[in-house]
Amino acid sequence: MKNIIIFVCLAFCAIFHFSCANSPKNAKADRYVVVLSLDGFRSDYPEMAHTPTLDSLARVGVRADFRPCFPSVTFSNHYAMATGLHPDHHGLINNYFYAEDLDKIYTIGNREAVSNPDFYGGEPIWNTAERQGVKAANFYWVGSETPVNGRQPSIWKPFASSVSFRNRADSVLAWLRLPLEERPRLLMWYIEEPDAIGHSATPDSSATIRMVEELDQLLNYFFTEARQLDIFDRIDFMVLSDHGMGTYYPENYVNLNDYLPRDSFDYVFDGVPTLLYTKESYRETAYEILQHVPNIEVYKKEEIPAKYHYGTHPRISNLVVIPKIGTYVQFRANSSPRLGGAHGYDNYVPTMQAIFYAAGPSFKSGERLPAIANVNLYLLICKLLDLQPAPNDGTEEEVAGLLK
Ligand SMILES: [Zn+2]
């Protein structure tokens, strides 16, 4: 294994150094960007597991904690990264919500909702690219399965968890080998682990660590193959995640059904966070009661702290319950407290932080940088591919800090 680490490291160092010394003036016109999202990969997993490939990436590129948006859930954050907008601005305000503007419910398991473009605001990066003549390919990123503003990436796939991770890696490699005129220059792909195992086995379990190590081996395969490409030295690679994972405990469990009458709410989406759409006449009463429930914080929509950038979108419920870390919340007639893993909490707490690794001709080398907000991904890709960005919530300074 040690030989592989050195091999991968030398390969990156040697090739990137060569590329640096020989960059053509119009370098960005033939630059490629490959972004992989590993769902629920917590920022400290590499310290808990044996991850030689990620460690190599950090040595030749940059590593930082990646701060999710609130709520720290999958769909809201993948689409925030894609558009550079906070969920409050792009409209996918949770994995589950009621959209007053459409009079429709969004849930991530509902095909019809997920493929309805009306839910998706802003301009995803693949549309920005395609609109400006840069071909994009996408393997499962949230939002890529639907024509936002009538557009989709040139290559995209309907989500199917049965497609192996290795198969996805091979597809991305195959796209990079396409003839020049067909070859995408923005490639994004997605893997739904270690999120699933983190939920079921908790982030502290040996099963989660094993999965993290398997994913690192997949990355080793991917980069070993990628370096055979004659365009390898023109590819900026990123490996990142959408949020972390926290353990919750049965003794902290809250069932809102013990405190509130269900028929006083038009819609309830429980979990982390819990969105409560109260009947207007009941809001004040519910708010008073919820303030005395242990292990949670409750906010009126218009009083949510500014750090969350959350509360202006019409789809957000008039009361929002944010469980404290270690707590799971439900609103069920029958429920059973248990141990598990969850995310969706305060996006600033350490266990919610995600990973960001980047290596390639554009990135600084060997630097561990301060945490960056994940809404910067959109602007970053625009810089890498020389695209004119749509309005977004990224900041030039944070993006510039990653680049040479
Ligand atoms: Zn996720």
* pLDDT for position 4: 43
Distance 246 CA to ligand 1 centre (A): 12
Q: Are residues 363 and 229 in the same domain?
A: yes
> Which residues have CB under 8 Å from 345's CB, separation 6+?
71, 72, 246, 272, 273, 322, 323, 324, 325, 351, 352
Residue 347 domain-assigned (yes or no) = no
Q: What is the mean pLDDT of residues 274-303?
A: 97
Angstrom CA distances, 216 to 28, 40, 297, 345, stand at 29, 14, 37, 26
Question: Minimum mean pLDDT among 6-15, 52-61, 106-115, 181-190: which range?
Answer: 6-15
Residue 343 lies in a domain: no
Examine the pLDDT at 20 and tell me if it is beyond 90: no
List of E strands, 86-192: 96-99, 104-107, 136-139, 155-156, 186-191
What is the CA(301)–ligand 1 centre distance, in A? 24
Mean pLDDT within 315-325: 98
C-alpha dist (Å) from residue 280 to 287, 311, 319: 11, 17, 10
How many domains does the chain divide into?
2
Neighbours of 158 (CB within 10 A): 10
CA 402 vs CA 271, 272, 281, 352, 383: distances in Å:
35, 32, 50, 21, 11
pLDDT score of 16 more than 70: no
Quote the mean pLDDT of the chain: 94
CB of 160 within 8 A of CB of 168?
A: no
SS3 state at 200: helix
How far apart (Å, rounded) are the C-alpha atoms in residues 280 and 85? 29
Distance 28 CA to ligand 1 centre (A): 31
Q: What are phi and psi for residue 369, nearest 5 degrees?
A: -105, 160
The CA-atom distances, in angstroms, between 316 and each of 110, 214, 259, 275, 280 are 19, 38, 22, 7, 14
What share of the chain in percent tops pLDDT 70? 93
Two tokens, residue 93 = 């305000």
Q: Is 205 within the bounds of a domain?
A: yes
Task: Please tell me whether residues 109 and 126 are part of one structural domain.
Answer: yes
Over its C-alpha atoms, the chain yields an Rg (Å, rounded) of 21
pLDDT digits (tens, 9 = 90+) for 149-179: 999 999 999 999 999 999 999 999 999 999 9
Shared domain for 133 and 40, answered yes or no, is: yes
Q: What is the pLDDT of residue 28?
A: 72
186 close to 126: Cβ distance less than 8 angstroms: yes
pLDDT at res. 388: 98
Hey, which residues are catalytic here? 74
- In this predicted structure, the answer to whether residue 326 has a pLDDT above a threshold of 70 is yes
Q: What CATH number corresponds to the domain at position 202? A: 3.40.720.10
Distance (Å) from CA 195 to ligand 1 centroid: 6
- Predicted confidence at residue 336, as pLDDT, reads 83
The residue segments making up the domain with residue 265 are 250-338
Name the one residue in this structure whose structure tokens are 């028929």: 263
Domain identity same for 285 and 223? no
| 207 and 71 part of one domain | yes
CA gap 383, 399 in Å, rounded = 9
Q: Residue 266 sits in a domain of what CATH number?
A: 3.30.1360.180
For position 29, what pLDDT does the model report? Answer: 75
Q: Tell me the C-alpha to C-alpha distance, in Å, between residue 193 and each of 19, 39, 328, 353.
A: 33, 5, 21, 16
Neighbours of ion ligand 1 (CB under 5 A): 39-40, 74, 195, 242
Same domain, 68 and 150: yes
Other beta carbons within 10 angstroms of residue 400's beta carbon come to 11
Say if residue 260 is in the same domain as residue 380.
no
In a shared domain, residues 295 and 242:
no
Provide the pLDDT confidence category of residue 6 given band limits of 50, 70 and 90: very low
* Residue 309: inside a domain: yes
Clarify whether residues 64 and 148 are in a common domain.
yes
pLDDT in tens, 230-256: 999 999 999 999 999 999 999 999 999
Asked if 329 and 321 count as a contact pair (C-beta separation under 8 A), the reply is yes
> Is residue 291 in a domain?
yes
| pLDDT for 9 | 45
5-19, 51-65, 314-328: lowest mean pLDDT where? 5-19
Q: How far is the CA of 25 from the centre of ligand 1 (A)?
A: 39
> Is residue 132 located within the same domain as residue 272?
no
Residue 13 clears pLDDT 50, i.e. is over it: no
pLDDT value at residue 24: 45
Kindly state whether residues 320 and 300 are assigned to the same domain: yes
Return the pLDDT at 27: 56
